[in-house]
Amino acid sequence: MLGRMLIRDAAERDWAAIWPFMRRIVAAGETFSWDRDIDEAAAKQRWFAAPPGRTFVAVDGDGTVLGTAVSGPNHEGPASHVATASFMVDPDHFGRGAGRALGSHVLDQAKADGFRAMQFNAVVETNVRAVALWQSLGMEVVATLPEAFRHPSEGYVGLHVMYRLL
């Protein structure tokens, strides 16, 4: 039986469930603009952002972590009212709606926190599932930066900047 999915704040103890699929996603080099061999401590520090940053996990009815997101201000000062976010869904749990649930929650929370807009800085254009998902949540491709991402099999591809007012 597929338990009901829940989005909740991530806790320190969730890291042990997050890191294995995060490492796998980052090492694949197909979707994230991070060093592919980032070490665990650096990844953890990045993902568990200091407030006002927020970190979430999607868990199923059994408590299994399906995916995670981090959100916070994209810039500071006069631009601190625009949020940004990153998402990782365990490839073993694709297709269960964790990405959509995380995205929807992050957008709602950002609006509740007083942000006026959400910006994704670097969505790989070949990651068509993610692009379509974010578009379905109201994010628009406002620019595609040519050759900005070196895909391991596709070569140089574009990075989308996606944006929406909240």
Q: Which residues bind a copy of itself (CB under 8 A)?
A: 26, 29-30, 32-36, 38, 75-82, 116-117, 119, 121-122, 142-152, 156, 159, 161, 163, 165
Closest CB 19 distance from a copy of itself, rounded Å: 17
Edge-to-edge order in the sheet of strand 6-9: 6-9, 54-59, 65-73, 82-89, 117-124, 155-165, 140-151
C-alpha to C-alpha distances, 143 to 48, 79, 103, nearest whole angstrom: 28, 19, 20
Measured between its terminal Cα atoms, the distance across the chain in Å is 35
**Is the Cβ of residue 31 or residue 68 nearer to a copy of itself in the bound state?**
31
The nearest distance, CB 42 to a copy of itself, in angstroms, is 10
Closest to a copy of itself by CB, 64 vs 80, is: 80
Cα 58 to Cα 163: distance, rounded to the nearest angstrom: 23
Residue among 10 and 26 whose Cβ is closer to a copy of itself: 26
Cβ at position 59, least distance to a copy of itself in Å: 28
